[in-house]
Amino acid sequence: MGLIDWLILAVGLAGMAGLGLWTARGVRRLDDFLLAGRRYRGPALALFHSGNPMQKLSSITARMFQVGLAGLWYEFIYLAALPFWWIIGPVVRRLRIATTADLFERRFHPATVWLYVAFAVITCILSTTVWLVGVRKLIELMAGSDLAWQPMLSVIMGVSLLAVWAGGFRAVVVTGITRGLLMLLLTAAGVWLVFGQGMGPAAIHAGNEALAAQRPELLSLRLTEEVFVALARTPMTPLFVAMMVATMAAGSIVGPMAASSYGCARSERATALGVVSGGLIKRACVVAWAFLGLAWVAQYATPDVLAADPTGPGATLFADGLFAQASHDLTATVGNGAAGLLWVALAWAAVEGCAAPLMVAGGLISRNLYQRFLRTGRPEDHYLRIARWIGLACAVPAVLLAFAFNNLVDLIEILIALPGAIGLGVWLALCWRRYTTWGLLVSTLGAYAVWICLEWQQGVTLVQRVFPSAVTVIKGKLELNDGWIMLTYMSVAMVLGIVTSLLTRPEPREKLDAFYRVLRTPAAGPEPTGQTLGDAGTSPASPIRKLIDHPDLEIPVPSPRMMLGLAATVCAGIGIVAMTWWLAQR
């Protein structure tokens, strides 16, 4: 990195710090801190949800050397889940909650708030840890001997904490929008530099021929047993895909950042358009980076590297360093300033990823525990100050865990699994009046107990005798398939929740009427930030046409707009997969 690159990086970091202080001007209430004033429209939210973290691009590039285009199927699972976000986003926005714990307080007994806040704070800390570990590894690969990762990570964490302290979720959204623009710019620049300037049609054809001669499987989207072995993953069966989609859809509504991410929109329509459009842009950019990764494999991999075992230490070292090597050469080709811009994009993405969960953790504890149970009736700025301090305190365990963990896959699997069981109970509660507090508690704790036992691989031999397809060999060890694990603990959660609810006393009718009245009240436009779930429950609700005419069921007939949006989302997802297949044939 040259002097200009360092100056650009310094300006970028200073800009982030200044942004956190600038956004603090509009933060006067805890609701402003958590919801960013409910001011953002669809295009802004699309950019906010569209940015890929830099470590994701690095892992996609490495995966292209390991298994080729077939590795994209794990990314396409998110496309299969995306139609559910067309429903989930508007539902959360319509609830008018400042934190997801507000939902538990209004629908269930207030004691469930303690359970949810404990779950949410753990999730926020683990999420911050995932970001820190990923950024740490990427800095080590990209910087080499030019920059130690400790100072850079310390600066990123410091700016994140400043954003948490000052601007709250407004700083997160503005940072995310900027990050989305930078990622689009970097993706377009990478495609133009590699395929437009660095590789003409003849070079691309020669590269494809070289790969086809030694590693033809890299150019294929076909999933084979070798793909799962190379990635050390369980086979991608229809059951695995279905359960991944179901688990993500169930858990997304209780994610700690759901209330802020979906609730910062002006309306429920803006939420749906922003979340779905951003998700589609994100996956399209992943496809672009996958083809960039293939081009770099053809450019940098020697015949000996291509002939080596993809899971061997030498091949793994090459795959992990491929993104860093290609980025270094591309920025050198562009000239001074390009490397600095790349590092700014990395830093902005990391700040957003670290600041958001810390901010939400502080808001949850301050609003739903401290204000609700410990210190009521204090001025609003008092609770805002407490939220800021708690957000800073939550950074300590996240940093300590970042030094202790190295396996990102394990952490990410935990983050996917944790919300699933409790989220399934919330979905049942949204659709079924008879679902009770005891049903939620028993189903959640029972499902977590089953999940822990299965993750510890208890009874694998017995399961193999009864259901041979439920086990597989990973790195020479017999393990339960992830699809069967998810099916088991989610089924336990559903059965326990329904049976327990039928055996226990229902929630008070007045409480349920107020709650479901909110779900029938559309969030069609701007609303005061201070208006939360309880306030909206006093406004006139729209009449509901039920899909099933039963007094205990609250499943509305889908509107034409919802059906059109679902169809468009499905078609767009199919279009991205079809585009990938078409490009792979060329």
Residue with tokens 């077939």: 70
**Which has the higher per-residue pLDDT, 456 or 552?**
552
- With beta carbons less than 8 A apart as the criterion, state whether 328 and 145 touch: no
- With beta carbons less than 8 A apart as the criterion, state whether 174 and 22 touch: no
Least confident window among 446-450, 456-460, 566-570 = 456-460
State the Cα–Cα distance between residues 459 and 436, nearest whole angstrom.
32
Angle ∠(404,409,411) on CA atoms, nearest 5: 50
Positive or negative: CA dihedral 282, 288, 292, 297: positive
Task: Let me know if residue 333 belongs to a domain.
Answer: yes
- Give the SS3 label for residue 478: strand
Question: What's the pLDDT at 534?
Answer: 47
Task: Let me know if residue 582 belongs to a domain.
Answer: no
Residue 394 belongs to what domain range?
Answer: 3-96+125-234+256-408
Task: Let me know if residue 439 belongs to a domain.
Answer: no
Task: Let me know if residue 109 belongs to a domain.
Answer: no
Q: How far is CA 177 from the centre of its chain?
A: 16
**Which has the higher per-residue pLDDT, 234 or 370?**
370
Q: How confident is the model at residue 163 (pLDDT cuts 50, 70, 90)?
A: confident
Say if residue 406's pLDDT is above 70: no
Q: How far is CA 314 from CA 55, 213, 311, 335, 493, in A?
A: 21, 21, 8, 31, 44
Average pLDDT of span 246-258: 89
184 phi, psi to nearest 5 deg? -65, -40
SS3 assignment for 421-434: HHHHHHHHHHHECC
Say if residue 9's pLDDT is above 50: yes
Task: Let me know if residue 75 belongs to a domain.
Answer: yes
State the Cα–Cα distance between residues 259 and 366, nearest whole angstrom.
15
Question: What's the pLDDT at 537?
Answer: 45
**Which has the higher per-residue pLDDT, 228 or 575?**
575
Average pLDDT of span 498-509: 94
Tokens matching residue 281: 């842009």
Question: What's the pLDDT at 356?
Answer: 86
Average pLDDT of span 403-425: 75
Positive or negative: CA dihedral 280, 281, 282, 287: positive
Say if residue 46's pLDDT is above 90: yes
Question: What's the pLDDT at 426?
Answer: 93
Tell me: the pLDDT tens digits for 278-289? 999 999 999 999
Question: What's the pLDDT at 433?
Answer: 93
Residue 443 contacts by C-beta under 8 Å, 6 or more apart in sequence?
421, 424, 425, 492, 493, 494, 496, 497, 500
Say if residue 364's pLDDT is above 60: yes
Average pLDDT of span 93-99: 91
Q: Where are the alpha helices (DSSP H) in 253-312?
A: 258-263, 268-300, 303-307
Strand partners, 265: 40
State the Cα–Cα distance between residues 381 and 387, nearest whole angstrom.
10
State the Cα–Cα distance between residues 99 and 108, nearest whole angstrom.
15
Say if residue 56's pLDDT is above 70: yes
Question: What's the pLDDT at 569?
Answer: 94
**Which has the higher per-residue pLDDT, 27 or 491?**
491
**Which has the higher per-residue pLDDT, 214 or 580?**
580
Task: Let me know if residue 29 belongs to a domain.
Answer: yes
State the Cα–Cα distance between residues 513 and 551, nearest whole angstrom.
12
- With beta carbons less than 8 A apart as the criterion, state whether 20 and 154 touch: no
Least confident window among 1-10, 38-47, 75-84, 439-448 = 1-10
State the Cα–Cα distance between residues 338 and 192, nearest whole angstrom.
14
Question: What's the pLDDT at 473?
Answer: 66
Question: What's the pLDDT at 427?
Answer: 94
**Which has the higher per-residue pLDDT, 420 or 273?**
273
Task: Let me know if residue 572 belongs to a domain.
Answer: no
Nearest CA-CA partner of 374 in 124, 32, 117, 104: 117
Which range, 159-163, 456-460, 484-488, is most confident?
484-488
Question: What's the pLDDT at 538?
Answer: 45
**Percent of the chain topping pLDDT 70:** 86
State the Cα–Cα distance between residues 308 and 299, nearest whole angstrom.
16
| Residues 47-86 as b or e (16 or more Cβ within 10 Å = b) | bbbbbbbbbbbbbbbbbbbbbbbbbbbbbbbbbbbbbbbb
Question: What's the pLDDT at 439?
Answer: 94
State the Cα–Cα distance between residues 197 and 200, nearest whole angstrom.
7
**Which has the higher per-residue pLDDT, 25 or 577?**
577
Angle ∠(251,253,256) on CA atoms, nearest 5: 85
State the Cα–Cα distance between residues 401 and 390, nearest whole angstrom.
18
Q: How confident is the model at residue 85 (pLDDT cuts 50, 70, 90)?
A: very high
Question: What's the pLDDT at 230?
Answer: 66
- With beta carbons less than 8 A apart as the criterion, state whether 517 and 262 touch: no
Question: What's the pLDDT at 435?
Answer: 95
Say if residue 237's pLDDT is above 70: yes
Residue 436 contacts by C-beta under 8 Å, 6 or more apart in sequence?
108, 500, 501, 504, 505, 506, 507
Question: What's the pLDDT at 540?
Answer: 47
342 phi, psi to nearest 5 deg? -65, -45
Tell me: the pLDDT tens digits for 120-153? 998 899 888 888 888 777 777 776 655 566 777 7
268 phi, psi to nearest 5 deg? -70, -30
How many domains, in total, are found in the chain? 1
91 phi, psi to nearest 5 deg? -60, -45
Nearest CA-CA partner of 537 in 105, 53, 34: 105
Task: Let me know if residue 92 belongs to a domain.
Answer: yes
Which range, 221-230, 346-355, 373-382, is most confident?
373-382
Q: How confident is the model at residue 533 (pLDDT cuts 50, 70, 90)?
A: very low
**Percent of the chain topping pLDDT 90:** 25
SS3 assignment for 520-553: CCCCCCCCCCCCCHHHHCCCCCCCCCECCCCCCE
Nearest CA-CA partner of 87 in 245, 253, 244, 243: 253
Average pLDDT of span 469-479: 67
